[in-house]
Amino acid sequence: MTAQLAEPAVAWRADPYTAALRTGRGPLYLRREDGWLLPLEVERWCGEPDAADVTVLDRCTGPVLDVGCGPGRLVAALAARGHRALGVDITPEAVDRTVRAGGSALCRSVFDPLPREGRWGTVLLIDGNIGIGGDPAALLRRATRLAAPDGSLLVEVAAEDVDERVEVHVDDGRGGRGAPFRWARLGARALCAGAAGAGWTRSLTWQSAGRAFVGLRR
């Protein structure tokens, strides 16, 4: 029998995730009901932008909205570069860390009303955040409404060719776990196949430090 799914805002505020952000350390995973684990790179998220992150930052133009900003390393780096940048995250601890790092962030879902809708030069879905809500098509359509008519969407995708919708929970590997919620994982092929229906076209793909990215344009 499938467990009742939590609202994402509740699931990501679960103690294992909040505790990991607070300390800046893992281990932390997304665990499927069949036991499969996806490691979450908490230390990288809480550190300075790495070489792969810099390839994303270099491709940002205009005001930037970072969806699922986490502890805010990209938002803070963009602000330091002179961009108008805003992070959005449903976890209060993530928003607090973003602000402490020198960035601006709102504790809000991407599907809630947001500032500057239709005027963001770049929308970011990094660190697997194309998975938010377990419905990539809905997220891509939402990004279309957020971006400016000439805006871009930069997405980090799975390095392998994958297209799955899964039920997961946050797990610290030590017995701590959050409530189940829906998530998705997409490789570049699956992302590009679904992007056109949401008003996006692929402009570039690239890899850096073992991570894979796709740039989309309106």
Question: What distance in Å separates the CA atoms of residue 179 and residue 185, rounded to the nearest whole number?
Answer: 19
The contacts of residue 78 (CB under 8 Å, 6+ apart) are 57, 60, 64, 66, 85, 103
Q: Does residue 25 lie in a domain region?
A: yes
Decide which of 14 and 156 is more confident: 156
Q: Does residue 2 lie in a domain region?
A: no
* Residue 208 confidence (pLDDT): 98
Q: Is the pLDDT of residue 57 over 90?
A: yes
Q: Does residue 3 lie in a domain region?
A: no
Q: Is the pLDDT of residue 201 over 80?
A: yes
The 10s digit of each residue's pLDDT in 79-92 is 999 999 999 999 99
Q: What is the mean pLDDT of residues 149-167?
A: 97
Question: What is the chain's length?
Answer: 218
Q: What is the mean pLDDT of residues 155-166?
A: 97
Question: What distance in Å separates the CA atoms of residue 2 and residue 40, rounded to the nearest whole number?
Answer: 24
- Exposed/middle/buried for residue 178 (C-beta within 10 Å: 0-12, 13-18, 19+): buried
Q: What is the mean pLDDT of residues 171-196?
A: 95
The 10s digit of each residue's pLDDT in 11-51 is 555 579 999 999 999 999 999 989 999 999 999 999 999 99
Q: How many domains does the chain have?
A: 1
Q: How confident is the model at residue 58 (pLDDT cuts 50, 70, 90)?
A: very high
Q: Does residue 1 lie in a domain region?
A: no
Question: What distance in Å separates the CA atoms of residue 81 and residue 61, rounded to the nearest whole number?
Answer: 11
The CATH number linked to 179 is 3.40.50.150
Q: Does residue 89 lie in a domain region?
A: yes
Q: Does residue 92 lie in a domain region?
A: yes
Q: Does residue 71 lie in a domain region?
A: yes
Q: How confident is the model at residue 3 (pLDDT cuts 50, 70, 90)?
A: very low
Q: How confident is the model at residue 8 (pLDDT cuts 50, 70, 90)?
A: low
Q: Is the pLDDT of residue 165 over 70?
A: yes
Q: With CA atoms as reference, report the closest residue to 123 among 74, 159, 193.
A: 74
Contact 109/9 with Cβ under 8 angstroms? yes
Q: Does residue 37 lie in a domain region?
A: yes
Question: What distance in Å separates the CA atoms of residue 73 and residue 207, rounded to the nearest whole number?
Answer: 20
Question: What distance in Å separates the CA atoms of residue 125 and residue 191, rounded to the nearest whole number?
Answer: 12
* Residue 15 confidence (pLDDT): 76
Range of the domain at 150: 8-217
